[in-house]
Amino acid sequence: MARFELKLPKMGESVAEATITNWLKQVGDTIEVDETVLEIATDKVDSEVPSEVSGVLVEQLFGKDDLVQVGQTIAIIETEGGLVQESKPEAIPESVVEVEKTITIAKEIIAEPIAFADSEKFFSPLVKNIAKEEGISITELEAIAGSGKEGRVTKEDILKFVESRKSNGLTPTNSNPQPQTISVNGGDEIIEMDRMRKLISGYMVASLQTSAHVQSFIEVDVTNIVKWRDRVKNEFEKREGEKLTYTPIFMEAVAKAIKDFPGMNISVDGDYIIKKKNINLGMAAALPNGNLIVPVIKNADQLNLVGMAKAVNDLGNRAKLGKLKPDDTQGGTYTVTNVGTFGSVFGTPIINQPQVGILALGAIRKVPAVIETPEGDFIGIRQKMFLSHSYDHRVVDGALGGSFVKRVAEYLEAFDPNRTF
C-alpha cells in the first residue's frame, strides 16, 4: 500500500488560503480519481477539492472551519501499489507568499470587527477566525476558559462554547433566547443569513464606511447598438457558438474609456494611490439563491467583441452553476453591474472595494426624443438608457468621474451600425 498526500491546490495568483467548509468523504471511505473529497471557501467563492488518485481516505489533517494555506497537506489517501506517492507541491508564487501591498481597506474592516487589540489575552488566528464567523464578542471570548498553554483558548474550547450556546438557544451576541427560525401561523420568520450573504453584508457596509460615494448620471442613445444586435445576433451565435447580449458591447466601451481615463483604474491603500497596470473588469452577477458575485474579465481592453462575449458568457454561466474558481473573482480594477436586467432605469451602486468606481447599466427603453437634423428638429422614437456612475470622492473628483461616464456614453452612441464582428 502507498500513501498519497492530498494538498490544497493552487487557486490563483492572489489566493493564498481557504477555509474547509465540508468534508464529503470521511476516514475509511473509498475515493475514485477526480471524485470530490471536500469543499472549501475563499472570501468570495466556494470550490471543491477532487482527489488525484483512487484509494481509501485514512486521515483528515484539518477539520471543518479550519483555515488552510495553499500547498498544505489536508488529507492522506491510501492507494494500491508498493511505492509511496506524494502529490507534487506547487510552488507558491512570491505574490501569494508576500502580503500584497494592495490589501483592501474593506477586508481590513471586515476582518477585524471584534476589538482583539483591546484584549490583553492572546488569541490564535484560527480562534479569531471562528469568533468572527460565529459573531462571538470580545467579552464572550475573554470569558472562555482556555485549556491550552498558559490558559490560551484553543479551537476545541471555542467550538465547545459555540455548541453550548446553540444548544441553549442563544443568539451569537447576547444571551436572549431566540429560535433560529420562527414561523407562527404563517406569520413572520427569522432566518439566519447564509455564509455568502454574511460576507456580502459585511462588504457593503464596509464600502460605505470606507469610500465617499458620489454619483453621476447620463442618458445614452443606444439605438444603433440595438438595431445592430438584432440584425447580427443569429449569425453571431451560428458562427461563434455564443449568444450575443448587450453586456460585452458595454464592457468594450467601458474598457476603452478606462484607457482614456486611467485615473479610474486605481485603488487606495491608506494614504497611497495604486495605479493599476491591467484593466480587469468585474461583472456583477446575481446567483440563483439571490446572492451576488463579481467574476472578473482579465485584461478586458485586449479583447475584441467576440473575445469579450465569450468571456462574459463563460463567467456568467459558471457563476450560475457555482463553478467559478477562486481566481475568477480576484484582481478586479473596475466593476460594471446591470441593474436594467431587473427593469431598473438607473441605480446608485456601492463601490466594490478597493476599487474607486462602479458603473450601473439601466434598462434600455423606447422613448420619444428630439432628433436634430439639417432640416430642423423633430420627435422620433429612440432606444435609450441611463448610465449611473458611483465613484470614490476621496480620490476621484467630479471632473474625472463625470468625464469618464460621458466618454463611455460617447463610445456607445458612436457605435458603428455597419461594423463586423
Catalytic residues: 393, 397
Name the amino acid, one letter, at 69. Q
Are 248 and 305 in contact, with CB atoms under 8 Å apart? yes
Torsion of CA 407, 275, 353, 49, to 10 degrees: 110
* 186 CB-near residues (< 8 Å, 6+ apart): none
d(CA 176, CA 170): 6
d(CA 184, CA 293): 33
Closest CA to 395 of 347, 343, 341, 354: 354
* 172 CB-near residues (< 8 Å, 6+ apart): 134, 135, 136, 165
Tell me: cis bond preceding 354? Omega within 30 of 0 counts.
Answer: yes
Name the amino acid, one letter, at 409. A
Are 294 and 282 in contact, with CB atoms under 8 Å apart? yes
Name the amino acid, one letter, at 197. R
Closest CA to 202 of 276, 129, 132, 277: 132
The grid coordinates of residue 120 equal 490583553
> Where would I find the beta strands (DSSP E) of 254-352?
266-269, 272-275, 281-283, 285-286, 292-293, 296-297, 334-337
Its sign, for the CA torsion 40, 42, 47, 51, is negative
The grid coordinates of residue 288 equal 440563483
